[in-house]
A and B are shown apart, each in its own frame.
Chain A
Amino acid sequence: MAQLKVPNTISPAQWQSLVLQLASISACLIFWQIASTQKWDLGLVTFNNVPTPAAVIDAAWKLISSNALWPHLSSSLTRVFSGYLAAALVGIGLGLAIGRSNRAENVLMPPLELLRPIPAVAWIPLAILMFPSSEASMIFITFTGALFPILLNTVHGVEAVDPRLIASARSLGASPSAILREVILPGATPSIITGLSIGMGTSWFCLVTAEMISGQWGIGYYTWASYVIQNYADIVVGMLLIGLLGMGSSWLIKRFGNLLTPWYRLQGKTR
């Protein structure tokens, strides 16, 4: 579409928001630096044992030069994305069924509502018992993290499709399957993408929990193991890595979503 081209130059408004974003991150770093070197004790919270940014950078550098970074990263990425993809398939599939059919809602929603509040960490023992390999049980835990946001947003999106659009499609000769494909699915897409984006976050969220089971590799395992051996700088490195990867993959999902819904971006933020 000609009128939807993204401009190549950065406008002053975009510069301003970029500067603001960078300034915000710098402020956090500066606060961290001062609080940890001065060993602030604020009563409620103390920075006595918090490693300084310099110590963290040092630890990060050690991790990068140790050849261990890639095995850690790749095992975590594989687990998160396997669990996430499974959650996306199951969540969108079940969500469409529940959103469209009262019977499916009555059959599926009660057990799902019961399972939803169970935290990932509570699943660990059962996951170990249920799955033959520890790898599969870890993937299952990231799956449980991503499933519910995707499922609930899909249901919400399907139910929010304007019934007049469905009536119109029927009047124009659309079959039930064409209505699902041409009206329900595209109509629910913005909401599904919101669910996918939140699910990406919660999937990373469950990674440390999942990799408590792990024996050797993974960012979550690395973080957990550093805590066990009281290597505080390494904990922060692990936390930051999870934060970065989670942010990066959420960003990817958003870009992917924008590509899928070019009509939706036109609305923008209402002021």
Chain B
Amino acid sequence: MNLYEAPDAPAANTAASTSTASVATVSDFVTDGSDSAGSTAAGSTAAGSTAAGSTAATARFGKITAEQISIHLGQGKAAFEAVQAVDFAIAPGEFVCILGPSGCGKSTLLGALAGHITPSSGQLKLDDQTINGPSPERGMVFQHHTLFPWRSTLDNVAFGLKMRGMGKQERMAQATEMLKLVGLEDSAERWPSQLSGGMQQRVEIARVLINKPRLLLMDEPFGALDAQTRMKMQELLLSIWSRIRTTVVFVTHDIDEALFLADRILVMSPRPGRIIEDLPVNFPRPRRTELVTTAAFMQLKRHCLELLNHEEGRQLPRLSPLGLAEDAQPRLRCEIS
């Protein structure tokens, strides 16, 4: 499985050699909460074993509980309820996709988890602590990269460590390790604008993961990439997640993507956003691209399509994790797939 050989990284290493090189540091990232057995398991997974199931690396932190979350956006007469009385719980280390049509409030919910949006009512907790403003414990990856154009790739990755007051040498060393994990160590000195879309998102993921977050929030992170790069990125993300076991909440409107990645899919209805189904996805891991053509996959996909189709045709403005999107324009129809 040549996860690192995305089309835009000609000089990428093979997965095996990179993994072996980074075993020690990668387990560092895992051990924050896990016992020694956990880090050993992470090590063996990283060394190229095929058993990357959800038991390989365990996470102790990253439990999410949401009780009766409602979120209102807009002001005055334009105010509306984007998310309505949503309840869910996510276990530590679980990979959950939130699936729903454009404008259904799934990104808004993600913004609330990140701390950029305050729910108007309800309890939203990470490890029994109420979420109150953004924090490096809850890393966020947007659809379009938010790398600082004035910082080199390496400096971007090291940003979180710099904010923590870590010395230059140490943070550069850690950032270099992190870049290796996403297969971009050769691009350390380049400006973000010199990277392709897929590479930019990989740097973005590295920049978030260097903070050892309990929770990784992703808002359609591969939505702007071409189909082939997107599949490579999905495989890469699963490979990283099998080694750095953190809770992932991944927002998408792409059914294939959700089914391929998730342990569980929360399906949301159009506005006001409610969770209409909590769908477990039990395909064995590690998952390969071939999975998407199997009969079991198709069956689940058909089920999701029916769920999403049901309120098709309503016009909704686009929402973002920061509230209303600036280029808010109603779509002609809800986008699915």
Contact = CB atoms under 8 A, between A and B. Distances in A.
B193 A263 contact: yes
B116 interface: yes
Given A1-B190, A164-B146, A172-B160, 5 more contacts: A1-B191, A164-B322, A167-B140, A172-B163, A173-B136
Contact of B149 (A167, A175, A178, A263): A263
Contacts of B138: 171
Contact of B148 (A167, A182, A266): A182
Interface string B34-76: 0000000000000000000000000000000000000000000
The interface size bin for chain B is 20 to 34
Contacts of A77: none
Contacts of B211: 172-173
A258 interface: no
The interface size bin for chain A is 20 to 34
Contacts of B146: 162, 164-165, 167-168
A208 B230 CA distance: 62
A261 B136 contact: no
Contacts of B164: 173
Contacts of B208: 171-172
B260 interface: no
A167 B191 CA distance: 20
Contacts of B191: 1, 263, 266
B223 interface: no
A75 interface: no
B189 interface: yes
A12 interface: no
Nearest to A186: B150
A255 interface: no
Interface string A168-182: 111111110010001
A158 to B, nearest CB: 15
Contacts of A134: none
Interface centre among B146, B191, B193, B207 (most CB of A within 10 A): B146
Q: Which 8 A-B residue pairings sit nearest by Cβ, starting from the closest?
A: A173-B136, A168-B146, A173-B163, A170-B134, A186-B150, A172-B160, A171-B134, A171-B140
B148 A171 contact: no
A163 interface: yes
B139 interface: yes
Interface in B144-197: 144, 146, 148-150, 152, 159-160, 163-164, 189-191, 193-194
B52 to A, nearest CB: 27
